[in-house]
């Protein structure tokens, strides 16, 4: 029996503030005595996309506004929910438990709030009526039947070795030998005792997993798809993947188009395989860093090595996690004045929280991961993301932004603080923000801020503080008499504090052993 309890989303607040509308992760449905027929389309869509909440007992009226109408028989509706959900002929898998369901009373009317979690990549797609084509995904505030390409992408994502595909009729002649020789030289410098420099190219490519025996075809030596992508001649790659395209833009400044571009297929870059793309573009990314030098605590000039490391990790992450069988999107790295953008075809195979915490890693192209790891340009087990987060925290940059759907992932790496992104703040407003951000964690009172800035009148200071609060740069804490103002708490700070707490606990435990 499901008991009434606190809802996971503040539905009452949404209603009181007139913010009750459907979105990418909220769906309202009228339900009096029966579970709505279209419930399962939304169930499938949320499960296959990013999860969400279905609220039963709220109806869209003739004025296209939502109002609470309530459910009359919640027990019967919940019986239907689990009865149908556990019928494999109706739904491919039941992903709900009683913990995902909450009952609330709003203005004397009962509503049922059902949390639909996003399922793992191995479980997707969740489909209906025993037909894979009856899979849905969520776009904006609607449920849409999955396309053939989107379904194929979900099924491909179940594999962690997409680039292990063995290719017929491709030989070493389809590779750019200069790329192979350059890579072999780099590996020899890193591992001089391995004897890579003494190997012929065939043996070397077998040692690094690019050429392997096909045990299902008389042990014939064949090339893996990842090897073709990494070392291949451009036309050879295009013959297997006609949609293959890599790009780089420098969009800094006021130029209408771009300052610089590296374009796959351009005669200036005749064999732009993934290795050449990495070498050329990473050099341009490194040279794009124009932030001024700063002094560290020992009054020694900081270099930008750490920012280059973050750029390298983000750039390589884009390359190794791309779905190269996706025919709609390309690899695109872009430089802007305040941030870097990295886009690749394919959804992110882990959650955003797993990325930021570095708690998990799900490769899509294992061979590419291995080839970049040998160069020292990639990390196993998710530690690459932690290098990015470390740089962001140390420089107090804005939190990186990730947008991922069924077909494309976009990663934005900011290289400025939040305050620098607000182009409509005055210097005085930025000055007040800086004083608050450098103050105590619990915040500063208005009188303390005024003591720091006696040039401001009380009314001027009040207007500035209200504006900073409206922009969510600072927060108000406490009542009028005890009110303080503090910098908005950032997600990365929570991660940092969690790390400090974990380390403190470890030390205490070790002390007792």
Boundary residue ending a domain (416, 451, 474)? 416
The reply to whether 473 and 359 lie within a common domain is no
SS3 (DSSP) at 182: helix
> Based on the domain organization, do 432 and 487 belong to the same domain?
yes
Q: Taking residues 335-348, what's their average pLDDT?
A: 94
In a domain, 290, yes or no: yes
Same domain, 466 and 444: yes
348 and 442 both lie in a single domain = no
How confident is the model over 395-401, as a mean pLDDT? Answer: 87
Give the C-alpha separation, 336 to 415, whole Å: 10
Is 8 a residue whose pLDDT tops 60? no
CA–CA separation, 25 and 105 (whole Å): 21
**474: confidence class by pLDDT, cuts 50, 70, 90:** confident
Residue of 24 and 78 predicted with greater confidence: 78
Question: Are 76 and 51 contained in the same domain?
Answer: yes
Determine the average pLDDT of the residues in 147-161: 91
Rounded distance between C-alpha atoms, residue 452 and residue 440, angstroms = 14
pLDDT one-digit tens code per residue, 207-217: 999 999 999 99
Average pLDDT over residues 300-324: 84
Least-confidence region, from 243-257, 360-374, 424-438: 424-438
Q: Residue 303 sits in a domain of what CATH number?
A: 3.30.565.60
Are 463 and 383 found together in one domain? Answer: no
Structural domain tally of the chain?
3
Beta carbons of 116 and 54 less than 8 angstroms apart: yes
Q: Is residue 432 part of a domain?
A: yes
Q: Both 33 and 91 in a single domain? A: yes
Q: Say whether both 428 and 333 belong to one domain.
A: no
Q: pTM higher than 0.85 for the full model?
A: no
Q: Does residue 429 share a domain with residue 337?
A: no
Q: Give me the sign of the Cα torsion angle 339, 345, 351, 356.
A: negative
Q: Which domain holds residue 431?
A: 420-491
For residue 12, what pLDDT is reported? 63
Residue 436's CB is within 10 A of a number of other CB atoms, namely 24
């Amino acid at each position: 029996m499901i008991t009434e309890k606190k809802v996971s989303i503040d539905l009452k607040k949404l209603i009181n503030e007139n913010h009750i509308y459907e979105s990418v992760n909220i769906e309202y449905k009228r339900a009096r005595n029966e579970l709505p027929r279209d419930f399962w389309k939304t169930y499938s869509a949320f499960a296959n996309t990013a999860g969400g909440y279905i609220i039963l007992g709220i109806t869209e009226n003739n004025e296209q506004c939502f109002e609470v109408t309530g459910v009359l028989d919640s027990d019967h509706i919940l019986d239907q929910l689990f009865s149908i959900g556990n019928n494999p002929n109706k739904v491919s898998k039941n992903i709900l438990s009683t913990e995902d369901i909450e009952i609330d009373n709003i203005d004397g009317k009962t509503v049922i709030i059902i949390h639909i979690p996003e399922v793992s990549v191995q479980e997707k797609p969740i489909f209906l009526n025993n037909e894979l084509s009856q899979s849905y995904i969520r776009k904006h505030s609607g449920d849409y039947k999955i396309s053939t390409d989107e379904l194929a992408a979900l099924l491909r994502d179940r594999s962690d070795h997409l680039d292990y595909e063995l290719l017929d009729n491709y030989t070493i002649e389809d590779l750019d030998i200069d790329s192979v020789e350059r890579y072999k030289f780099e590996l020899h410098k890193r591992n001089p005792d391995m004897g890579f420099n003494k190997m012929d190219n065939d043996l070397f490519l077998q040692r690094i997993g690019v050429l392997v025996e096909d045990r299902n075809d008389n042990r014939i030596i064949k090339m893996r798809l990842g090897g073709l992508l990494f070392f291949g001649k451009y036309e050879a790659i295009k013959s297997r993947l006609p949609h293959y395209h890599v790009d780089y833009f420098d969009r800094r400044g006021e130029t209408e188009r771009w300052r610089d571009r590296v374009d796959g297929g351009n005669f200036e870059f005749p064999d732009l395989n993934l290795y050449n793309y990495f070498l050329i573009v990473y050099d341009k990314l490194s040279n794009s860093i124009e932030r001024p030098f700063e002094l560290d605590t020992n009054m020694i000039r900081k270099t930008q090595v750490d920012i280059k490391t973050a750029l390298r990790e983000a750039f390589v992450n884009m390359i190794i996690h791309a779905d190269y069988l996706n025919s709609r999107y390309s690899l695109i790295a872009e430089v802007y004045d305040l941030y870097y953008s990295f886009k690749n075809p394919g959804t992110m195979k882990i959650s955003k929280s797993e990325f930021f915490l570095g708690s998990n890693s799900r490769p899509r192209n294992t061979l590419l991961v291995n080839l970049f790891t040998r160069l020292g340009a990639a990390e196993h087990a998710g530690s690459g993301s932690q290098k990015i987060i470390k740089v962001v925290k140390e420089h107090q940059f804005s939190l990186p932004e990730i947008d991922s759907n069924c077909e494309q992932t976009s990663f934005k790496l900011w290289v400025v603080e939040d305050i620098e992104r607000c182009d409509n703040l005055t210097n005085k407003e930025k000055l007040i923000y800086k004083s608050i951000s450098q103050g105590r964690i619990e915040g500063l009172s208005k009188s303390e801020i005024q003591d720091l800035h006696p040039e401001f009148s009380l009314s001027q200071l009040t207007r500035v503080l209200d504006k900073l609060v409206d922009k969510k740069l600072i927060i108000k804490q406490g009542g009028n008499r005890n009110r303080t103002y503090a910098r908005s708490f950032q997600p990365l700070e929570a991660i940092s504090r969690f790390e400090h707490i974990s380390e403190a606990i470890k030390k205490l435990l070790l002390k007792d052993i």
